[in-house]
Structure 1
Amino acid sequence: MTIAQNAASIPTTTAPDRLRPVRIWLYVMAALVLGMVVVGGITRLTESGLSITSWKPISGIIPPLSDADWQAEFDAYKTIPQYEVLNSWMTLDNFKGIFFWEYLHRLIGRLLGFAFLAPFAVFLLQRRLPRRLAWPLFGLFVLGGFQGLLGWWMVTSGLTQLTSVSQYRLAAHLCAASLLFMALVFVPRWLKPGALSGTVTSRHMWSAGLLLALIFIQIGAGAFVAGLDAGMGYNTWPLMDGSIIPNGLAVIDPWWRNLFENALTVQFVHRCIAYLVVLYLGLLIWRQSRTEGFLGVHGWLTRLGLLVLVQVALGIATLLNFVPLSLAIGHQAMAFMLAGAAVAYLADMVRNRQNLDAVS
Structure 2
Amino acid sequence: MNRPASLPAAPQPGAIANWLLFVALLVIAMVAVGGITRLTESGLSITQWQPVTGAIPPLTEADWRAEFELYRQTGEYRNVTGPAGMDLAGFQFIYFWEWFHRLLGRLIGLAFALPLAWFWVRGAIPAGYKPRLLALLALGGMQGVFGWFMVRSGLSGEMTDVSHFWLSIHLLTALFTLGGLVWTALDLRALARSGEPPARWTAMASWVGAVLFLQLLLGAWVAGLNAGHASDSWPLMQGRLVPEYDSSRGLLWAVTHDPFLIHFLHRWWAWAVVAALVVMARRVKPLDRRASIAIHSAFGTQILLGIATVLTGVALWVAVAHQLVGALLVAAFGWGAHALGRRS
**Normalising to structure 2: TM-score of the pair?**
0.90
Shift of 1:240: 2.0
Q: Which runs of 4+ in 1 moved over 6 A?
A: none
CA RMSD of aligned residues (A): 2.2
Partner of 1:309: 300
Q: Please tell me the residue identity of whatever aligns with 1:43.
A: T
DSSP-derived class of the 2:95 partner: helix
Partner of 1:275: 271
State which drifts further: 314-323 or 298-307.
Answer: 298-307
Partner of 1:216: 213
- Alpha carbons 1:212, 1:339 under 8 Å: kept: no
Q: Please tell me the residue identity of whatever aligns with 1:28.
A: F
Corresponding residue to 2:337 among 331, 346, 358? 346
Q: Please tell me the residue identity of whatever aligns with 1:102.
A: E
Q: Please tell me the residue identity of whatever aligns with 2:68.
A: F
Listed as ranges, the matches of 1:1-360 within 5 Å are 18-88=12-82, 89-130=85-126, 132-160=128-156, 161-193=158-190, 205-248=202-245, 251-284=247-280, 288=283, 294-297=285-288, 299-351=290-342, 353=343, 355=344
**Normalising to structure 1: TM-score of the pair?**
0.86
Shift of 1:298: 5.1
Aligned equivalents of 1:176 and 1:263: distance in 2?
Answer: 22
- Alpha carbons 1:190, 1:350 under 8 Å: kept: no
- Once the two structures are superposed, residues 221-261 of structure 1 have per-residue CA deviations (whole angstroms, 9 ceiling, x without a partner) of 1010011111112221111222223343x614132111121
- Alpha carbons 2:211, 2:276 under 8 Å: kept: no
Aligned equivalents of 2:48 and 2:272: distance in 1?
Answer: 41
**1:176/1:252 Cα in 2 relative to 1: closer, same or farther (>3 Å)?**
farther
Q: Please tell me the residue identity of whatever aligns with 1:46.
A: T
**1:247/1:65 Cα in 2 relative to 1: closer, same or farther (>3 Å)?**
closer
Aligned equivalents of 2:281 and 2:115: distance in 1?
Answer: 39
Aligned equivalents of 1:114 and 1:278: distance in 2?
Answer: 36
Partner of 2:5: none
Shift of 1:348: 2.4
Aligned equivalents of 2:293 and 2:94: distance in 1?
Answer: 40
Q: Please tell me the residue identity of whatever aligns with 1:25.
A: W
Aligned equivalents of 2:190 and 2:179: distance in 1?
Answer: 19
Structure 2 gaps of 5+ residues are 1-9, 195-199
Q: How much identity, in percent, do the aligned residues show?
A: 37
**1:91/1:118 Cα in 2 relative to 1: closer, same or farther (>3 Å)?**
same
**1:139/1:282 Cα in 2 relative to 1: closer, same or farther (>3 Å)?**
closer
Shift of 1:110: 0.8
Shift of 1:295: 3.5
- Alpha carbons 1:236, 1:319 under 8 Å: kept: yes
Shift of 1:278: 1.5
Q: Please tell me the residue identity of whatever aligns with 1:75.
A: E
Shift of 1:122: 0.5
DSSP-derived class of the 2:202 partner: helix
